[in-house]
Amino acid sequence: MSPSVQSRVPQPQVLSGIRVVELGQLIAGPFCGKILGEFGAEVIKVEPPGQGDPLRKWRLLKDGTSVWWQVQSRNKRSVTLDLRHADGQDVCRKLIAEADVLIENFRPGTLESWGLGWDRLSSINPGLIMLRISGYGQDGPRRDMPGFAAIGEAMGGMRYLTGEPGRVPVRTGVSMGDTLAALHGAIGVLLALYYRTVSGGKGQVIDVALYEAVFNCMESLLPEYSAFGVVREPAGGALPGIAPSNAYSCNDGYVLIAGNGDSIFKRLMEAIGRPDLAGDMSLRSNEGRVARAEELDAAIGEWTEGRSVNDVLHQLDKMRVPAGRIYTAEDIAKDVHYRARDMIRKITTRQGYELEVPGIVPKLSLTPGVISTPAPLLGDDTESVLGELLDANEIADLRARNII
């Protein structure tokens, strides 16, 4: 019996009929492929024979395979192919000739060295959409430098702001640079698919750089420097220029409170027993509150420190003040709202064990995404996919020479 996946299978799926060839490894390219696969695209993941995508062995393993892999590669088909071999490159060109989208996240120039550059591929498939994700983009003076998510986060401006004032900047704990690049890549693919439809079939290249994807999310960072010469500095749990908004200590943990709306601020001050601050005319706008942010944080912190997180949240919920606890993985797994929103799914992996994994975002009312198949074993679909392009003798020859 094939492994089962708990899912709600809607009809139709919005990307049904779109074939994606994924040549990328690890995070950025494959995360984009994951998104497209969840909304119906057929995603063919090309992996090197033997070890496959290194993500298969990243972080915690169960039955020899990363549990992260079970999320990143769901809804995909695995084909093994040695792209460093001329015959492997030839097979890959045949595969791409039948594809709508190609995803890759190698260093610029790598595909060209394998005979898989845009000029050659577009000549055999004019409607091809090619998503290229790299550290610094396909041109510019840093084009050929290696770039991982951490470097993109640093160059994009995020790392400098993350942490406590005067301390070494820290990373967020996950590879945000890769994920942001993947999300921008998915947007680009959808835009290009739409343009191909209205242009009579024209394909194009989508060039996403990790640092640019991060930089695009940095809000007012550059305009403030341009207008005022202000270099935004790290502020720990606070949100500089918007007050009050911070993490506050309770007697059993921390709580996040966002009291920065004008009416919200007034309700927050009433909740903490400070009607004097609620009625202070100088605090009725954000500009005035920012000028007294330390005073406000001290007042809120004095109220929270003698209370439990649950008590604080209960009191603030009654006053309709946005607040929340800082969740661990255990908190997420036990949260009723996550489960009510179908954001925790139970699957059965190809290895045969059950696993809880994140649900699907975004949620579409008519064409929601699905988890249709679990992440594949290495090379699970090599014969079935290549059987559409090659005869049995050709496939046997490639396998005998370890090209597939």
Residue 3, pLDDT score: 43
Cα–Cα distances (Å) from 177 to 56, 361, 399, in that order, read 20, 18, 37
Tokens at 376, concatenated: 């594949």
- Phi first, then psi: what are they for 118, rounded to 5°? -60, -45
Active-site position among 53, 82, 100, 178: 178
d(Cα 202, Cα 204) in Å, to the nearest integer?
A: 7
- Residue carrying the six token digits 């007294």: 292
C-alpha 329: how far from its chain's center? 17
Residue 5, pLDDT score: 44
pLDDT mean by block of 10 residues, the chain; 404 residues? 44 92 96 98 97 96 97 98 97 98 97 98 98 97 93 96 92 94 98 98 98 97 97 90 95 96 96 97 96 97 97 97 96 97 97 97 95 97 97 96 97
R_g of the chain, CA atoms, integer Å:
25
Residue 239, pLDDT score: 85
Residue ranges covered by each domain of the chain: 19-217+336-400, 245-328
Residue 12, pLDDT score: 79
CB atoms near residue 258 (< 10 Å): 18
Which CATH class name applies to 245-328?
alpha beta
Given CATH 3.40.50.10540, say whether it is the number of domain 19-217+336-400. Answer: yes
Residue 1, pLDDT score: 33
Put simply, whether the predicted model's pTM sits higher than 0.85 gets the answer yes
331 is an active site residue: no
Residue 11, pLDDT score: 64
What DSSP assignment string belongs to 309-333?
Answer: HHHHHHHHHHTT--EEE---HHHHH
Kindly state the DSSP code that residue 375 receives in the 8-state scheme: P
